[in-house]
Amino acid sequence: MGSTLSQPSSNSAHQSPSDFRDKVSKFLAASAVESENGATTTSNPSDPTPSSTTTTEEVTPSSDKPLESFSAIVDKKMDSRSGPWWWNFERSELPNPGSYDEMSQDAQIVLRQNLIEGLQFNMILPQTAHLATGIAFDMGAKDRPGQFGLLVNYFTNSLVVMSKFTPSDCAVNGRVFYRHTPNLTSKIQATIGLTDLAESKGDLELDYRGPSYCGQLKFAGGGVCALSYLQSVTPWLALGGEGFYQTKTAFSAITFAAKYFHGKDTASITAATFGPIFATYCRKVSQKTSLAAELFVDSRNRESHVQLGYRFDLKHATCTGVVTSEGKVAAVVEEKINPGLSLVLSGELDHQREDYKFGFGVNFGQ
CATH number at residue 137: 2.40.160.10
Both 58 and 118 in one domain: the answer is no
Using the 3D structure, point to which of 23, 47, 79 is the last residue of a domain: 79
Both 167 and 35 in one domain: the answer is no
Task: Report the C-alpha gap between 177 and 161 in whole angstroms.
Answer: 7
- 107 versus 66: the higher-pLDDT residue is 107
How much is the pLDDT for 24? 53
Provide the mean pLDDT of the chain.
82
Using the 3D structure, point to which of 79, 110, 134 is the last residue of a domain: 79
170 assigned to some structural domain:
yes
How much is the pLDDT for 39? 42
Which range of residues forms the domain containing residue 21?
10-79
Both 111 and 143 in one domain: the answer is yes
Both 328 and 183 in one domain: the answer is yes
Residue among 108, 19, 8 at smallest CA distance from 61: 19
Q: Which residues contact 49 (CB under 8 A, 6 or more apart)?
A: none
- How many C-beta atoms lie closer than 10 Å to residue 288's C-beta? 12
The secondary element (H helix, E strand) that includes residue 74 is helix 70-79
How much is the pLDDT for 22? 62
| Mean pLDDT of the 274-297 span | 95
Both 203 and 310 in one domain: the answer is yes
Residue 102 CA from chain centroid, whole number: 9
Both 247 and 283 in one domain: the answer is yes
92 assigned to some structural domain:
no
pTM: 0.71
89 assigned to some structural domain:
no
Task: Report the C-alpha gap between 203 and 186 in whole angstroms.
Answer: 11
Both 231 and 284 in one domain: the answer is yes
Domains of the chain: total? 2
Both 55 and 115 in one domain: the answer is no
Residue 74 CA from chain centroid, whole number: 37
4 assigned to some structural domain:
no
How much is the pLDDT for 20? 56
Both 208 and 325 in one domain: the answer is yes
128 assigned to some structural domain:
yes
Using the 3D structure, point to which of 48, 79, 110 is the last residue of a domain: 79
Longest alpha-carbon distance in the chain? 120
Residue 306 CA from chain centroid, whole number: 25
Task: Report the C-alpha gap between 172 and 71 in whole angstroms.
Answer: 70
Residue 54 pLDDT greater than 50, yes or no: no
Residue among 6, 75, 2 at smallest CA distance from 39: 2
2 assigned to some structural domain:
no
| Mean pLDDT of the 325-348 span | 93
Both 27 and 117 in one domain: the answer is no
Name the band, by pLDDT with cuts 50, 70 and 90, for residue 353. Answer: confident
202 assigned to some structural domain:
yes
Name the band, by pLDDT with cuts 50, 70 and 90, for residue 1. Answer: very low
Both 196 and 264 in one domain: the answer is yes
Both 169 and 74 in one domain: the answer is no
Task: Report the C-alpha gap between 46 and 51 in whole angstroms.
Answer: 12
194 assigned to some structural domain:
yes
How much is the pLDDT for 23? 60
